[in-house]
Copies of this chain bind each other. A is one copy, B any other.
């Protein structure tokens, strides 16, 4: 059993964010690869420092130690470099290790806990970027939709797990699995937001413990009867 959470960081097997169309060709020379990478890293840094809206492309270029003209060799717009930043962040997030527990090896609660922990850790590492994502999602429906698609993938998986538990009489049968999955993912996402973006002080362990217990309680795992 796998159960994932939240707004859609810490993913696996999710298609690239940048479905969006007409990308510049990938650079063909080693120098080009380096410049592009420098620009993506610079963009992330500048976005996190100044916010997406405030960030000036000229600052991104300066941070990457190249000219503004060069920026357009690799990206068609600010939006596009943000896509690249998010893509890169995503691939970084994959490695740290989503729990890969076999379905029968672990109790549902243990899976949920591991999942939540992974999520919070990833969120913590990328809190500023998550805030950037919030910014663009709040502004641009394209990014809102993108985020929604990504969340859906998790929620579907979680919903399936929940449905299985219900079938086995191990979870509250009154709940619509999709509704519940979405609601609880939202809950965990919000907990992370309060802590790592708004800066409320919670220990990671406490966060994980509460997220897990509330989740387990909410779907009545084990006490479904």
Contacts and interface: CB of A to CB of B under 8 A. Distances in A.
A138 B134 contact: yes
Given A53-B139, A186-B186, A198-B144, A218 B214 contact: yes
A107 interface: no
Contacts of A139: 51, 53, 135, 138
B186 A191 contact: yes
A78 interface: no
Contacts of A184: 187, 214
Nearest to A186: B190
Given A138-B138, A217-B172, A179 B210 contact: yes
Interface in A124-155: 131, 134-135, 137-139, 144, 148
Interface of A: 51, 53, 131, 134-135, 137-139, 144, 148, 172, 174-176, 179-180, 182-184, 186-191, 193-194, 198, 200, 202, 206-207, 210-211, 213-215, 217-220, 223
26 contacts: A131-B138, A134-B134, A172-B213, A174-B213, A176-B206, A176-B210, A179-B191, A179-B202, A179-B210, A180-B210, A180-B214, A182-B190, A182-B200, A183-B210, A183-B214, A184-B214, A186-B186, A186-B187, A186-B190, A214-B219, A215-B218, A217-B218, A217-B219, A217-B220, A218-B218, A223-B223
